[in-house]
Structure 1
Amino acid sequence: MAEVKQGKYLGLPMVISRTKEQRFGYIRDNIKRRLESWKNKLLSPTGKEVMLKVVTMAMPTYVMSCFKLPRKLLKYINSAMANYWWGEMNGKNKIHWISWKRMAEDRQEGGLGFMDLEAFNKALLGKQVWRVITKPNLLVSKVLKAKYFPKESIFTCKAQGNASWFWKGIMEVRGTVEEGVRRRIGNGRGTKIWEH
């Protein structure tokens, strides 16, 4: 029997049957290949910063807007960028004089302004929650509502064990979104006085 290969649609895996780490390994491989192809010695620190921010940090953005990436993968990406930043000599990484966390701080605080990928992933998924709330007539909002929360709010529905990876990612960040959401009463018809 022939093995069926899983394809991609719009750059995302169509079926996620294995662990997320295995399924999103192509992101790690693409970043590794891209960093290895750049000539580290030929770039100034400014050139390295631009390459890391514009290319490397942008590569997983589309996937992060749909799935919660594993923390291990995000740590690998940060580590690969730090290794590229500090460079290597004779096949060994040079000393990292400042931690990546310090380099990721804002410029006003003494860092270089690299993105915190985990927080960025949460923000992108939070944007999806916000889209479901504010644009209920979109097809994706209608499908998610019909499948996962037909009679309740996105904030009160239970996370199902057999849900898609997309929905599981949204469920992990909905609490963060809920903290910042405020209800406008308007005419009061849609407001449940004891629940809202």
Structure 2
Amino acid sequence: MHVFNLAMLGKQAQRPANEPNSLVSGMFKAKYHLHGDFMNAALGHNTSDAWSSLWSTQHLLKARHHWKVDSGANILMWSDP
């Protein structure tokens, strides 16, 4: 269940990383990483639960431990995790 939660949070964390001009990205940027980007932001102190959760997936996004399913043609059903 923990891995599933990280995967879902990672999907949500891609949005501020890929769409830096969105409203939610702007709110997080103004509060938590004013002079940088999401991928290099620090956790800080006294943060919201939403920011802490999204921030916890940075290591996954940096390591590229996610992949896009698309049509599913490249997935080996019996051997891929």
**Given the two structures, how large is their TM-score scaled by the length of structure 2?**
0.71
Give RMSD over aligned pairs.
Answer: 1.5
What is the aligned partner in structure 2 of residue 141 from structure 1?
25
Distance 1:118 1:131 in 2: 21
What is the letter of the counterpart of residue 3 of structure 2? A
Structure 1 unaligned blocks of 5 or more: 1-116, 182-196
SS of 1:136's partner is: coil
Q: State the 1:167 CA deviation.
A: 0.7
Q: State the 1:138 CA deviation.
A: 1.6
Higher relative contact order (CA 8 A, sep 6+): 2
* Structure number with larger C-alpha Rg: 1
Higher strand residue share: 1
Number of aligned positions between the proteins: 65
Distance 1:140 1:154 in 2: 12
What is the aligned partner in structure 1 of residue 13 from structure 2?
129
What is the letter of the counterpart of residue 168 of structure 1? S
What is the letter of the counterpart of residue 174 of structure 1? Q
Structure 2 unaligned blocks of 5 or more: 66-81
Distance 1:180 1:160 in 2: 24
